[in-house]
Structure 1
Amino acid sequence: METSAGTFDPNQPGWQGLHLTPEAAAHIRDLAEQQSGFLGVRLGIKQTGCAGFGYVLETVTEPREDDLLFERDGARLWVPADAMPFIDGTEVDYVREGLNQIFKFNNPKAQHECGCGESFGV
């Protein structure tokens, strides 16, 4: 399993950043309206699952020094710089699947995913 996808320098050409869909931005804004002190969401990764990596979402009340900020329509998404080589170019969406509503990650760096969709590999 590969545990490194390179390094990230936002000043170098070729990096795409992350993209929030209008639905994801709306949901993040809704969360911010419901929670005092909520600034946005942090998207990170961790080693987990059968494919190698999983996405980790957490609320942000104070950004970290190494966080990169992506915004759309007032919604804020922070990403730790060390996660960017694994998720650069990812579209973050918020969708309804049956009775569930979830964030979906369309990651062009993911070469494979596990059968349940909970983890990915690069």
Structure 2
Amino acid sequence: MISLTTRAVSAIEEFISRSKNDVFGLRVKVEGLACTGLKYSLSLASHADSGDKLYSCDGLTLLVDQDSESMLKDTVMDFVDDEQGKGFKFDNPKATSNCSCSGSC
């Protein structure tokens, strides 16, 4: 399944700590193609939806829908903060190529 770097874990924990709502976990979803890569959606979730698969990753709960599950296999999620900006980066062996439009491809 998906794995998180220590930077990603720290960033997610910070987002959760700043949330004014109760957070059950992080929803990770593959929404299709963007430019020439996969497009990912991340959101803080207050509950699991029916059909969600729950994964424990470094003390965090990840919620993944059935359609996204197979596309996230062996993916590594990182958080980068460099001269190009900051955000989550996905290293997914299922992505055929990367685009230069954003870090979410």
Q: TM-score range by the shorter chain?
A: 0.7 to 0.9
1:60 equivalent to 2:56? Answer no
Q: TM-score, normalised by structure 2?
A: 0.81
CA RMSD of aligned residues (A): 2.0
1:20 corresponds in structure 2 to 4
Q: TM-score, normalised by structure 1?
A: 0.72
- Post-superposition shift, 1:48? 4.0
Aligned residues: 103
1:3 corresponds in structure 2 to none
In 2, distance between residues paired with 1:23 and 1:71?
Answer: 17
In 2, distance between residues paired with 1:91 and 1:56?
Answer: 15
- Post-superposition shift, 1:49? 2.5
Select which of 4, 24, 47 maps to 2:32.
Answer: 47
- Post-superposition shift, 1:50? 2.6
Off by >3 Å, runs of 4+ in structure 1: none
2:54 corresponds in structure 1 to 69
Asked if structure 1 preserves the Cα contact closer than 8 Å seen for 2:37 and 2:95, the reply is: no
Asked if structure 1 preserves the Cα contact closer than 8 Å seen for 2:16 and 2:44, the reply is: no
- Post-superposition shift, 1:99? 6.8
One-letter identity of the residue aligned with 1:24? A
Asked if structure 2 preserves the Cα contact closer than 8 Å seen for 1:40 and 1:61, the reply is: yes
In 2, distance between residues paired with 1:53 and 1:60?
Answer: 22
1:97 equivalent to 2:97? Answer no
In 1, distance between residues paired with 2:10 and 2:30?
Answer: 23
User: What percentage of aligned pairs have identical amino acids?
Assistant: 28
Tell me, which stretches of 5 or more residues in structure 1 are unaligned? Answer: 1-16
